[in-house]
Amino acid sequence: MTTHETTDAAPCARTVRRPGRLRRHLVTIAGLCTLAYLVLPNVIVLVFSFNKPNGRFNYQWQRFSTDAWTDPCGVADLCGSLGLSLRIAVWATLGATALGTMIAFALARYRFRARSTVNTLIFLPMAMPEVVMAASLATLFLNMGIQFGFWTILIAHIMFCLSFVVTAVKARVMSMDPRLEQAAQDLYATPVQTFLRVTLPIAAPGIAAGALLSFALSFDDFIITNFNAGSTVTFPMFVWGSAQRGTPVQINVIGTAMFLIAVVCVVVGQLAGARRKRS
């Protein structure tokens, strides 16, 4: 009898004991390592924006300097390409957000026959390697005899941003209670007023997310732009070229500045949102 009890108690005691500190935090540690892996290049970009390299390439640390920060446009064509990229990103965001929001509303709010075909057409660009889309669109432009440049880049960017906007807005509109729109109509709002006063404000976070994503995707796109730009040089194409010719420190400055601006924007947005929720 007593022997039975001891053999029964032993495994019990083992399961009751808390796992070690390290084991309990294993997931956290692994997650933080991944986070470090993700952030490390940004740290390098930041640090090397203060470098003063000896040769044309900014891959090895030489000595500290703020030259690049005081003169970010000191390299020929750099700021021109940056301006072009920003301009394209703004227009692509506007275009893709407008077209994508319309599609998202049609998909989320109406039943119609071509629904599944439309869904597939929206999904495909996201499931297609960029290089395939890039090459085929460029083939089309080439054969139509269309001059490559600002407009071909813009057309391509709206094309691949569209699907992401649709996805973001659709999710938001689908989760919206249709009774809110009915309530507005019940309270004397015409269809146009209902859309402007109720639907649009409530769908706004989804539209904003889609627009933000579009901006980031467009601003950062290289592959599709590279095929459809002709001799026009956007900022990513400038960086690509500089990887061959020599990397100026200024591209690190701009990369870091974009990163910091994004972080500040997000943090300010978060704080504003939190304050509104509290009040």
Partner 1 sequence: MTKTASPQSGSGGDVRLRRISKTYGSFTAVHPLDLTVPAGSFFALLGASGCGKTTTLRMIAGLEDPSTGTVELSGEDVTALPPYKRHVNTVFQNYALFPHLDIFENVAFGLRRRGIKSVKKQVEEMLDLVQLGPMARRRPQQLSGGQQQRVAVARALINHPQVLLLDEPLGALDLKLRRQMQLELKRIQTEVGITFVHVTHDQEEAMTMADTVAVMNGGRVEQLGAPADLYENPATTFVANFLGTSNLIEAEVTGVDGDDLLLRAADRALRVPARRCPHAARTGDKLLAGVRPEKMALAHPDDAVPEAHNRLSGRIKDAAFIGVSTQYLLDVPGVGELAVYEQNIARDGRLVPGADVVAHWNGAHTFGLDAAQDISAGADVDEEAA
Partner 2 sequence: MSTVTEAPAPAPEDAPPEVRTPPLRKRLVPYWLLLPGIAWLLVFFAAPLVYQASTSLQTGSLEDGFRVTWHLATYWDALVQYWPQFVRSVLYAATATGLCLLLGYPLAYLIAFKAGRWRHLVMILVIAPFFTSFLIRTLAWKTILADGGPVVGALNALHVLDVTSWLGLTDGHRVLATPLAVVCGLTYNFLPFMVLPLYTSLERIDPRLHEAAGDLYARPATTFRRVTFPLSMPGVVAGTLLTFIPATGDYINAELLGSTDQKMIGNVIQSQFLRVLDYPTAAALSFLLMAAILAMVTFYIRKSGTEDLV
Site for partner 1 in 175-204 (CB under 8 A): 177, 179-180, 182-191, 193-194, 197-198, 201-202, 204
Q: Is 206 in the site for partner 2 (CB under 8 A)?
A: no
Query: How many angstroms separate the CA atoms of 251 and 45, rounded?
Result: 9
Q: Footprint of partner 2 on residues 46-75 (CB under 8 A)? A: 48, 59-60
Contact flag: residue 94 with partner 2 (CB under 8 A):
no
CB of 63 to partner 1, least distance (A): 54
* Distance in angstroms (rounded) separating the CA atoms of residues 64 and 269: 34
Helix (H, G, I), strand (E, B) or coil at 50: coil
Q: Rounded to the nearest whole angstrom, what is the least distance from the CB of residue 216 to partner 1 in the complex?
A: 26
- Span of 5-13, 72-80, 157-165, 195-203 interacting with partner 2 by CB under 8 A: 157-165
Nearer to partner 1 among residue 180 and residue 267 (C-beta): 180
Residue 51's DSSP bridge partners are: 64
Local structure of residue 221 (DSSP, 8 states) = -
Q: How far apart are CA 90 and CA 234, in angstroms?
A: 13
Nearest alpha-carbon partner for 71 in 255, 250, 258: 250
Q: Is 230 in the site for partner 2 (CB under 8 A)?
A: no
- Which positions ≥6 away from 73 have C-beta within 8 Å? 79, 250
Q: Does 121 bind partner 2 (CB under 8 A)?
A: yes
Applying CB under 8 A, does 224 fall inside the site for partner 2?
A: no
- Decide: is 8 part of the binding site for partner 1 (CB under 8 A): no
Task: Give the number of other Cβ atoms within 10 Å of residue 8's Cβ.
Answer: 9
Partner whose binding site includes residue 128, from partner 1, partner 2, none (CB under 5 to 8 Å by kind): partner 2
- Residues in contact with partner 2, shown as a per-residue x/- string from 22 to 41 under the rule CB under 8 A: -----xx-xxxxxx-xxxxx
Q: Please name the amino acid found at residue 142.
A: L
Using rule CB under 8 A, residue 133 touches partner 2: yes
* Closer Cβ to partner 1, 121 or 189, answer by number: 189
- For residue 74, what are its two tokens? 């000191």
Give, in order, the Cα–Cα distances in Å from 181 to each of 1, 98, 139, 196. 73, 21, 45, 11
Kindly tell me which of 60 and 190 has the beta carbon lying closer to partner 1.
Answer: 190
Q: Is 146 helix (H, G, I), strand (E, B) or coil?
A: coil
**Rule CB under 8 A: which residues touch partner 1?**
177, 179-180, 182-191, 193-194, 197-198, 201-202, 204
